[in-house]
Chain A
């Protein structure tokens, strides 16, 4: 997964050739679409995965999002960047899926990468200083995902986009089609909720 800092100001950093790629795709050029999929697959997949906490669901939804974007590309008016538009499709699809699934939640978590064990911030959570020092990273991962799933979809989405994906409030507002104040209030509320759910695992600051 890319670092959050690298994801800031996506609109301004959008490659100049993105519009050209979109134009080629509209003419039916699948190679150009292959390039767009490669460019955004990790971010789209990660967003859906963090929303569902299920790899198989995230795989299906990510594929369907790209397929739907391809089908709807002719209606893309260019009012926002292709990336924001694609994100909106993926987010709507995911929220619809979660609403249909409702309480039938089944986690299928991905493995942690090698770097997790060497991340000083994360190691601190499983050190002797934590209230639950017996907790390993895997348990922490499970508890964190379970806590995330307790949030409502809009609140979970804001946490995922901001605190995990590293998007700005402005970008999140565009994706969620709401104003920045709503994004901020949802983020505050969601963090409060998470802090309550994970109080046993959080070190006192």
Chain B
């Protein structure tokens, strides 16, 4: 390294010129007061302060983002990985899980029908009843509610409520 130091001696002497570059006279007299006045003015909450603090706390995160800035290919590779993960998720979610879902649906159907029979009043008007009968039809069909990616929600159950209105 000493040999290389000697090789660059001329350059180092030229670089000494940089040390003679000085800011305007009195600049450093005012500098601390400017910093403190900005602190007092509450610049702590400027946008980006949180990100700056995060980067100061976790320099590896900054280096991670710098890789993207320096090499756009990394951005493409990262985006492709994310897309593949998303596709995998969609495909995996669409796969039929026959046994557990069928059993659950069967259990749900058996329990739902008697419940509906017990709670839903008979809508046939009695001979003494006049007036309107208002019945809200089931909003949902008896089919389980479909979710995105072909899934079905076994927990969603159809609701049917009827209110008999007595005649005057």
Residues of A within 8 A of B (CB): 1, 3-4, 30, 33-34, 37-38, 41-42, 45, 49-50, 55, 59, 62-63, 66-68, 70-72, 75, 88-89, 92-93, 96, 99, 109-113, 115-116, 119, 121-122, 124-125, 137, 140-141, 144-145, 159-160, 163-164, 177, 184, 188, 191, 194-195, 198, 201-205
Contact = CB atoms under 8 A, between A and B. Distances in A.
B56 A72 contact: yes
Q: Which 3 A-B pairs rank lowest in CB-CB distance, beginning with the nearest?
A: A116-B20, A121-B13, A37-B32
A110 to B, nearest CB: 4
Given A37-B31, A163-B12, A205-B10, A30 B39 contact: yes
14 contacts: A1-B20, A30-B39, A30-B40, A37-B35, A49-B21, A67-B43, A68-B49, A71-B44, A75-B56, A88-B59, A137-B17, A140-B14, A144-B17, A163-B15
Given A34-B32, A59-B27, A71-B49, 14 more contacts: A1-B19, A1-B21, A45-B31, A68-B52, A75-B57, A88-B59, A93-B52, A96-B62, A112-B20, A119-B20, A121-B13, A122-B13, A145-B18, A163-B12
Contacts of B56: 68, 72, 75, 88-89, 92
A122 B53 contact: no
Contacts of A75: 53, 56-57
B96 interface: no
**Best-surrounded residue of B7, B17, B53, B69 (most CB of chain A within 10 A):** B17
A141 B12 contact: no
A33 B36 contact: yes
Contacts of A205: 6-7, 9-10
B22 A1 contact: yes
B22 A110 contact: yes
A22 to B, nearest CB: 15
**Best-surrounded residue of B7, B22, B34, B49 (most CB of chain A within 10 A):** B22
Q: Which applies to chain B's interface (DSSP): helix, strand, loop or mixed?
A: helix
B20 to A, nearest CB: 4
B69 to A, nearest CB: 6
Interface residues of B, number: 43
Contacts, number: 141
B43 A110 contact: no
A37 B36 contact: yes
Q: Which applies to chain A's interface (DSSP): helix, strand, loop or mixed?
A: helix
Given A37-B36, A71-B44, A195-B8, A164 B18 contact: yes
B74 interface: no
A144 B14 CA distance: 8
B54 to A, nearest CB: 10
B106 interface: no
A74 to B, nearest CB: 10
B45 to A, nearest CB: 10
Given A70-B39, A195-B11, A92 B28 contact: no
